[in-house]
Amino acid sequence: MPAWLRALEALLVPRACVRCGTPAEGGLFCARCEPLWLRPDPTPAPRPLTAWEAEVPYTGEWKEWIRRFKYPAPGLQGLDPAADAVVLALILRAARRLPPELRAQAVVPVPLHPARFRERGFDQAALLARSVARAERIAHLPRALERTRPTPRQTGLSRGERRRNLRGAFRARRALPPCVWLVDDVATTGSTLAEAARALRRRGARRVVGLCAARTPAGVRD
């Protein structure tokens, strides 16, 4: 079964709660765990992003699920199916919270640096973007954005430093429709999303929505 279908199924079909394993009525959580659902704090989207939506804070168990999604154990041949389903379901829930006027005509992943693709073996943002596009029946434009140069890792940098580090790092390779969903697994300060949005807007996108599974709460950086 393709990843996007597993993620849709995780949203729609009763199964084990992803937090505690007891049967869930539907969706991802049992009745006991659903109220413990934590939304990230409502930090305004960094410009020129129109909006950003993430389902959970990038902390605790959510961080662990995303880590399992990004770095599957070697025996799993590239994917951890449980983590895959949870992270995809998170981003689909985030997408479904967007108001109708922010419904996109295209889904674009934040491109992974080629060197990092080689060391990791797969591109988690591209995987998420494809699943969101298929589940929501929106065009997927996986190669719409490219990195123009390697950028040093963002870890440990302040928002200003991240911005300087990323300036001009992306280029749109084609014209874009008026509203685009820009997909990544995790947002930290939003600097990467904002810089990628700038490139998309230069080629015709008027509204760019950052869509992530998780977001680092304001004041927490790593």
Name the residues that contact Zn ion, by CB under 5 A. 17, 19-20, 30, 33
Three-class secondary structure assignment of 63-97 = HHHHHHHHCCCHHHCCCCHHHHHHHHHHHHHHHHC
Shortest Cβ 124–Zn ion spacing (Å): 25
Give whichever of 27 and 40 is closer to Zn ion, judged by the CB atom.
27
Q: Which is nearer to Zn ion, 30 or 183 (CB)?
A: 30
> Which are the contacts of 46, defined by CB distance < 8 A and separation ≥ 6?
52, 189, 190, 191, 193, 194
Write down the least CB distance from residue 120 to Zn ion, Å: 31
Q: Least distance in Å: CB of 101 to Zn ion?
A: 34
In whole angstroms, the minimum distance from the beta carbon of 30 to Zn ion comes to 3
Whose CA is closest to 170, among 110, 96, 212?
110
Q: Which one, 21 or 78, has the nearer CB to Zn ion?
A: 21
CB of 32 to Zn ion, least distance (A): 5
Residue in this structure with the two tokens 């969706």, named with its chain if needed? 27
CB nearer Zn ion, residue 9 or residue 41:
9
Considering the complex, what minimum distance in angstroms separates the CB of residue 39 from Zn ion? 17
Residue 130 to residues 48, 71, 119: CA-CA distances in angstroms? 24, 19, 21
Rank residues 18 and 197 by Cβ distance to Zn ion and give the closer one: 18
The two three-digit tokens of residue 191, written as one number: 């600097």
Residue spans of alpha helices (H) in the chain: 3-12, 60-70, 81-96, 114-120, 124-136, 159-166, 191-202
The residues, ordered by sequence, that sit 6+ positions from 124 with a Cβ below 8 Å of its Cβ are: 69, 70, 112, 185
Longest dimension (CA), the chain: 48
CB of 13 or CB of 20, closer to Zn ion: 20
